[in-house]
A and B are shown apart, each in its own frame.
Chain A
Amino acid sequence: MFPRPIQESSKSRQLMYKVALPISLVIWLLPMIAIVATAGRSLHDINYGNYWGIPSEWAFLDNFGEVFSSSPILIYLLNSVIITVPSIFGALFLSTLAGAGLALYKFKGRFVIFALFIAGNFVPFQILMIPVRQLTLDLGIYDTYLAVILFQVAFQTGFCTFFMRNFIADLPFELVESARSEGVSEWKILIHVIIPLVRPALAALAVLQFTFIWNDFFWPLILIQSDELRPITLGLTTLKGQYISSFNLLAAGSLIAALPPVMMFFAMQRHFIAGLTLGASKG
């Protein structure tokens, strides 16, 4: 183990470590602590310039209530769900098929196709922006949920295919071979042999995609115009204008926006990290 386990060092060093740990954590999370503290501050304190001193009262409930009642944040949240959930399913469906196609069969050009999926995943969004916007206009879906969903499915399929292909390629190939020799059709092999084995990969991808798509700001900005269709990331910029001097309310709104992916992360931590660090532990 590197560095040397702290248990092997002197008592005083162990104590130092145990003190340094929470202190460094507080410093690291200071921006987040600041926003939580601000979200609980009353308007009275804000108006009197008491931004960081001891609050005269805690006003979490009032502030959250105020944000929900005075802004369309609930609609923004709902819009985020409407965009995110189908996008995840679409991307997982397409990439499971494509990943199996690339991992289980030998054919000419498979490396080129695989490379295209990976490379496309890294391109700057700006090189896609004008044509994709135009495409949604041509299809008559500009300024709809569908425009963002279709784009997210297509784009995220690149990363997901990369992921699924590598996961399926690491499965024991004998399973597929023995099924084939028994005359099981390729489609049935996918459904009955591969899919049950890739469940952990699907779980990892689903949580990862949830945060990516939920937190995405650029594509709704480009493809959605109506305020009532905006997801929460875009909605926050509206709230920023609305609560220009009510920092406590904007802080509460930001917390609400950040909460779903954070909860998803803490609930599915193992899957999330497994997905994110794919390849980081290989030699």
Chain B
Amino acid sequence: MTDMTSYPVPPKPRHTTFYSRNKLVITPLLFIAPAFAMFSLFVIYPIIQSISLSFYEWQGIGPKKWVGFNNYDLLFKDPVFWKALVNNIYWLVLFLLAPVLGLIIALFLNQKVFGIRLVKSLFFFPFVVSQIVVGLVFTWFYDPAFGLIAALIEPLGLKLPSILASEDWATFGVIIAGLWPQTAYCMILYLTGLNSVNPEMIEAARLDGARGWRLLVNIVLPQLRAATFIAIVVTVIGALRSFDLVAIMTEGGPYNSSNVLAFYMYDNAIFRYRMGYAASIATILFLIMDVYIVWFLMRLLKNEKGSR
């Protein structure tokens, strides 16, 4: 016994358990597991299920019937699908006005005068308001009998047509409502970007005689690349996701003239119980969106690869 105590007790070997040997691998897995499980269950797996469902005929209950590509055959012969797709393209193209208008407003507001902070916030706040409220507001705004636009142009002897009840104009009426908060979003992205533009480069360019438009295009815009990239991504995604405004303002009408893929899908699933057909519309929308998602990811991860 005394022999034992005369030697210093060797320290307990610390890195013996499986966990302590591998903790730099196990810890991140434990940290990520709960989020990943939830995300897989509610996002990733449902995507796979939806794509698979698009090859079946199903009414929401009862057995599913395999129909191969039949849903897609029907879809490509469905005039409402094409109408909705064209409208989605209108959304996409016109929504790209949001980054442009957002940049113009940001340039207009990028000054240091009294009260400018409040003005910037007030310009931004349509983005904070629910799309349902935006939809309701614009519905009144457009109303030919009691809307504000009609009231404003009446003294000029003009009569406002019923925008949301017109097959030609309904889509554009809804898109303009959507542009309002989207422009506010792009504006705030550009205001932040303008904040970090290198002032020395601007001064140097000014000394070289560049001003106005040329200064903007050659010196400022290249430095706003990050803001432009994010603005375009969120705008494209926003345009393809358009649902709330269509649902509250027109429900796709009149006669499907303002329908979009997202709403047509919902309509088929919830009101016509055509789950397989609805899933095929969702799959098409998903494939279109993938182009942008992949583009975004590639740009993003290219910058990430170098980091820790």
Contacts and interface: CB of A to CB of B under 8 A. Distances in A.
Contacts of A5: 111-112
B94 interface: no
Interface string B74-109: 000000000000000000000000000000010110
B28 interface: yes
B247 to A, nearest CB: 7
A277 B189 contact: yes
Interface stretch (B1-9, B65-73, B161-169, B278-286): B278-286
Given A124-B289, A158-B43, A257-B130, 18 more contacts: A2-B215, A3-B111, A7-B112, A31-B134, A31-B137, A95-B35, A101-B32, A106-B24, A124-B240, A126-B261, A127-B51, A129-B266, A153-B38, A173-B308, A236-B136, A269-B121, A273-B192, A277-B227
A280 B49 CA distance: 35
Contacts of B219: 2
Contacts, number: 300
Contact of A124 (B35, B130, B227, B286): B286
A25 interface: yes
Contacts of B16: none
Given A30-B148, A128-B46, A130-B278, A261 B129 contact: yes
A49 B27 CA distance: 68
Given A1-B202, A237-B248, A254-B137, A261 B128 contact: yes
B282 A129 contact: yes
B180 A129 contact: no
Interface of B: 23-25, 27-32, 34-36, 38-39, 41-47, 49-51, 53, 105, 107-108, 110-113, 116, 119, 121-126, 128-134, 136-138, 140-141, 146, 148, 151, 180, 185, 188-190, 192-197, 199, 202, 215-216, 219-220, 223, 225-227, 230, 237, 240-241, 243-244, 247-248, 261-262, 265-266, 269-270, 275, 278-279, 281-283, 285-286, 289, 292-293, 296-297, 300-301, 304-305, 307-308
Given A110-B28, A128-B50, A130-B53, A276 B304 contact: no
A144 interface: no
Interface stretch (A32-40, A54-62, A64-72): A32-40
B31 A98 contact: yes
Most chain-A CB neighbours within 10 Å: which of B28, B110, B194? B28
A265 B128 contact: yes
A124 B262 contact: yes
Contact of A122 (B32, B113, B289): B289
A153 B38 CA distance: 8
B50 A130 contact: yes
A145 B271 CA distance: 23
A122 B35 contact: no
A167 interface: no
Contact of A94 (B34, B119, B185): B34
Interface in A81-136: 94-95, 97-98, 100-107, 110-111, 113-120, 122-132, 135
A222 B243 CA distance: 13
B44 A94 contact: no
The 7 closest A-B pairs by CB, nearest first: A101-B31, A154-B42, A131-B46, A98-B35, A105-B28, A101-B28, A215-B130
B134 to A, nearest CB: 8
A217 B131 contact: yes
A20 to B, nearest CB: 8
A93 to B, nearest CB: 8
A155 B42 contact: yes
Given A1-B199, A151-B42, A276-B185, A6 B31 contact: no
Contact of B43 (A24, A102, A155, A232): A155
B35 A157 contact: yes
A129 B141 CA distance: 32
B267 to A, nearest CB: 11
A30 B147 CA distance: 12
A282 B100 CA distance: 20
